[in-house]
Structure 1
Amino acid sequence: MKHYVVDKLNIVTDYMRSAETVSIKVMVKAGSRYENETNNGISHFLEHMAFKGTKTRTATQIAEEFDMIGGNFNAYTSREKTVYYAQVLKWDLALAVDVLADIVQNSIFEPEEIQKRKKVVLEELAQVKDTPDDHIFDLFQEKLFPNQALGRPIIGTEKFINSVMRQDLIDYIDQNYSRDNIVISCAGNFDDKEFYNLIKEKFAFLPQSRKPSFEHATYVGGEVRVEKDLEQVHLTIGFPGLSYLDQKFYEQQVLAVVLGGGMSSRLFQEIREKRGLAYHISTFSMSYADLGVFAVYSATNPDSVNELIEATAEQIKLATDSITEEELKRAKAQVKASLLMSQESSASRAERIAWHYAVYGRIIPLEEIIERIEAISIEDIKSTLLKILLNEKLPTVAAIGRLKKLMPYEDIRAKFTLC
């Protein structure tokens, strides 16, 4: 793996001799938490405009060029980044870089195309609201961080989507798309010198030194309930967790697997296999630059929701002093396997090295990550879980469905309180 700088633009590469593909990621360190209440949703809207015409290509020409080489070109938005990417056969590297550079630097945002995208994004928003196992996570995020950038939905609001103008998009790019706020990665079978020269030539027009900042978040917690006539109650319960910059970050990852990360996990065995309360239950963590969240999600019929909560709380509290070496060994194996299996994909490798450099300022070697995972002990896992459960801040509860039988918030809070 290599890192080099092209006129303040950070480039990271990972050569894969046996690969037939090459993946390029243009990672902009700006996502929905870099927005404000007025323009919430603009990062996501830009993603939708990414392939809709540039100064040198029409939207149709872009689509035809993609199809001609059989490549995968797309973009996505998260709370801390926006990524434009391509995965192509190794001999199509030059075209892929050219198209990505054109999109990032030369998109024209035609008013007519903006109006079309508004309709598409509004339909996407409606689909999210009609899909409870999607919508619940927006509700959950908003209750975690109310009236804050990190709590607002990535997709934005209907009001913003209807009102966004071409100049809004141009202004946002001017504020966020600069050389020192972008990391470009490449993984696969390619020539390093060729890639370096392509980046130097094709990305020559990115502006200098406009590094944006984000609003630091404060965990608040509480509950949100949405009454809806559904067959199931969708439920998420969360607690303050760890940032990806925290030294115990990997301990939180392993803990999530022990509790609800696989078929042998405690919650899967108790909730699904023994009690038959739910088809799906999982624990997960969401980590950001300044803080994190540790949570559990499941769905069950309205008559069983309280039993689900009681059983979940019981299993999580029991884990504070009963995790076994076998459980820990299985969890470590799952985390390591996921990491190592992703190495077979040029797209996954390009994503990993770009993100590492963007947030850590270096590419963390796999050997170092595995060593840190192997070093985790039962006491480390217990300590991390206790830190989560003994936090003085309120748990966060989000529920959608027929909720008349759902126990009060204070009772849910009490179930997860350690005596």
Structure 2
Amino acid sequence: MATKSLTNSFIRHVVRRSYAQAAPSAKSDTIQTSVLPNKTYIAAVDTNSPVARVTIAFKAGSRYEPQTDLGISHVLRSAAGLTTGCASSFIIARKLAQIGASVNASGDREFIYYTLEATQDNLQEAVEVLANLVSLQEFRPWELSDNVPRLKYELAALYPQVRAVDLLHKAAYRHGLGNSLFISPNRIGKISSESLLHYAGSNLTPTRCAVVVVGDNQDRASLIAQCLQLTGSGEEAPKEPSKYYGGELRKEMGGDLAHVAIALQGAPAGSPQSLALAVAAKALGNGPVTKWGADNSALAKCIGNIGPFAAAGFNVSYSDTGLFGAVLTVPKDEANCAVKAVANVLKKGCLPSEAVRAGRNQLKLQLLSEAEAGASLAEGFAAQALYTGTVLPPAVLAAQIDTIDDATVNKVMASAAQTKLSMGAAGNLAFVPYADEI
């Protein structure tokens, strides 16, 4: 019997930017884009919404962390809203509250996103706060010390499925994309203000920046980008590609459940293969599609009736590579047969036509549904801009998904099946097989 325990935790976090980093579609096809002289990419789409969303994104995710300061991107995200060169953290919070605006800092292995939501009437004042919050951070040592409990809470609140996927990346890539999204517990409180200032100064630069506005025009996006007081205007330094190694990492945490993430090497963002793998991930399944209903997905069928479990396919694409696989949560006693069954589906590299058709429809539904959430739309556009240098309109994205047939999906799955298997596991691992056993 399948459950929906994954749909509100790991799966929503991963799929959000997993399909070739294609942003969800907007109601208008008119997306204005340009590149400023300082190499900052700007994009805007006017949705006639009373609420405007502004996302400022940087290539500053965990893959860019130096090995001597692992976890620094997590601290940088967590420090958003602390005292800047213009205002204290109290004044920042008070100004945003008075104008009914909010700022959220999030990130993944490639990017850090600062996203503002404000009404059109107060957008100008809110943008000034956002610009200072992004480009004039000071990282005062006593405020970083006060932020330690928050970091500990964020680690304690992690879902075990997220831990499994984090271990999966470490096993697959070792360094770069293998760097964890989260700081290690023994590193909390040991990253200095000077290290944060250097990391921000090296990565929060105009050449590594994209500014996206949803709910206003390109002029607004250009003004916001020009308000950012970012240092460094030279050419972006080339990054070292992350090599896919394959392997496994396990973390024994006890309990009655085993949480396992299994993956093969996928395709880079923006490639046709990554979009086909996104369809394949949906075709594998993502839990029941009706509340309290049965799970008839390919993964559920291969696992069988072993008691309560959750299983979902996923595809994550990065600038130079990707991962395609599945994550599952099963009772510890059933882990051996369930993990081997899921691995066999991935290595088989073939899905029935009805599953592929369902995958196409579900992926399109997700793209169009997320367009209703302006913050997701803005962050998706920013990811597209930094990955491919273009932002595709919704009609193009929908048309691309419709052109993916069964043969294309099975071909890219078969290609992925030729790569080495990677696995990350957390929980009670007494009966979880090792990677070389599956």
Is 1:168 the counterpart of 2:168 in the alignment?
Answer: no
Describe the SS at the equivalent of 1:162. coil
Conservation of the 8 A alpha-carbon contact between 1:178 and 1:210: no
Amino acid at match of 2:66: N
Output aligned runs, 1:78-157, within 5 Å: 78-128=108-158, 131-146=159-174, 148-157=175-184
Q: How far did residue 210 of structure 1 move?
A: 5.6
Corresponding position of 2:429: 403
Native 8 Å contact 1:176 1:211 kept in 2: no
Alpha-carbon spacing, 1:258–1:167, altered in 2? closer, same or farther (3 Å): same
CA distance in 1 between counterparts of 2:54 and 2:140 reads 26
Once the two structures are TM-superposed, the CA of residue 6 in structure 1 deviates from its matched residue by 3.9
TM-score (norm 1): 0.89
1:20-77 CA distance string (max 9 Å, x none): 1100000011211111110111122112222011122111111111211222211012
Q: Does 1:68 align with 2:94?
A: no
Distance 1:124 1:375 in 2: 41
Contact 2:242–2:321 (8 Å) recurs in 1: yes
Contact 2:262-2:343 within 8 A present in 1 as well: no
Contact preservation (8 Å) 1:38, 1:160: no
Q: 1:355 to 1:389 in 2, by over 3 A?
A: same
Correspondence for 1:196 among 211, 222, 226? 222
Query: Which residue in the other structure is 2:300 paired with?
Result: 268
Hey, what does 1:186 align to over in structure 2?
213
- Are 1:10 and 2:35 matched, yes or no? no
Structure 2 stretches lacking a partner, 5+ long: 1-30, 289-295
State the alpha-carbon separation in 2 of the partners of residues 163 and 402 from structure 1.
31
Choose which of 241, 245, 261 in structure 2 pairs with 1:220.
245
Aligned to 1:376: 404
Aligned residues: 400
Q: Distance in 2 between matches of 1:134 and 1:300?
A: 15
CA distance in 2, matches of 1:317, 1:50: 42
Instruction: Classify 1:228/1:42 alpha carbon distance in 2 versus 1 (closer, same or farther; 3 Å).
Output: closer
Deviation (angstroms), 1:239: 1.2
Q: Partner residue of 2:352?
A: 323
Distance 1:248 1:260 in 2: 19
152 and 195 in structure 1: CA distance in 2 versus 1, 3 angstrom threshold:
closer
Letter in 2 for 1:373: I
Say if 1:160 and 1:315 are closer, same or farther in 2 by CA, change over 3 A: closer
Q: Does the 8 A contact of 1:51 with 1:62 survive in 2?
A: yes
| Conserved 8 A contact 1:94-1:198 | no
Give the residue type in structure 2 aligned to 1:151.
G
Query: In structure 1, what is the Cα distance between the partners aligned to 2:387 and 2:365?
Result: 23
- Matches of 1:158 and 1:341, distance apart in 2: 37
- Within 5 Å, give how 1:236-275 maps onto structure 2: 236-263=261-288, 264-271=296-303, 274-275=304-305
Larger Rg: 1
Identity level (%): 25
Deviations 1:252-291 (A, max 9, x none): 00011111235342113453xx514443101111211111
> Greater shift after overlay, 70-79 or 309-318?
309-318
CA contact (8 A) 1:14 1:187 kept: yes
Contact in 1 for aligned 2:168/2:249 (Cα 8 Å): yes
Do residues 295 (structure 1) and 320 (structure 2) align?
no
- How has the CA–CA distance of structure 1 residues 149 and 193 changed in structure 2, closer, same or farther, with 3 Å as cutoff? closer
- TM-score w.r.t. the length of structure 2 is 0.85
Between 1:235-244 and 1:21-30, the stretch displaced more is 235-244
SS in 1 for 2:248: strand
| Pair 1:33-2:63 in alignment | yes
Go from structure 1 to structure 2 and tell me whether the alpha carbon gap of 1:408 and 1:60 turns closer, same or farther (over 3 Å shift): closer
Q: How much has 1:387 moved relative to structure 2? A: 0.9
Q: 1:373 to 1:402 in 2, by over 3 A?
A: same
Bigger drift between 59-68 and 237-246 goes to: 237-246
1:364-405, Cα deviation, whole Å (9 max, x unpaired): 2222222221111111111111112122x2x12222333333
Asked if 2 retains the 8 angstrom alpha-carbon contact of 1:34 and 1:215, the reply is: no
1:367–1:308 distance in 2 versus 1, CA, 3 Å: same
Aligned residue type for 1:169:
L
- Contact kept, 8 Å, 1:13 with 1:353, in 2: the verdict is no
What SS does the corresponding residue of 1:163 show, helix, strand or coil? coil
**Could you tell me how far apart the structure 1 residues matched to 2:102 and 2:72 are?**
24
Q: 1:278 to 1:34 in 2, by over 3 A?
A: same
Structure 2: distance between partners of 1:363 and 1:203: 22
* Structure 2 equivalent of residue 367 of structure 1: 395
Distance 1:149 1:315, change over 3 A: closer
- Rounded Cα–Cα distance in structure 2 between residues aligned with 1:386 and 1:193: 46
RMSD: 2.2
Unmatched tracts of structure 1, length 5 or more: 413-419
Change over 3 Å in CA distance of 1:55–1:227 after alignment to 2: closer
| Residue 380 of structure 2: aligned partner | 352
User: What CA distance in whole angstroms lies between the structure 2 residues aligned with 1:197 and 1:113?
Assistant: 31
Amino acid at match of 1:144: A
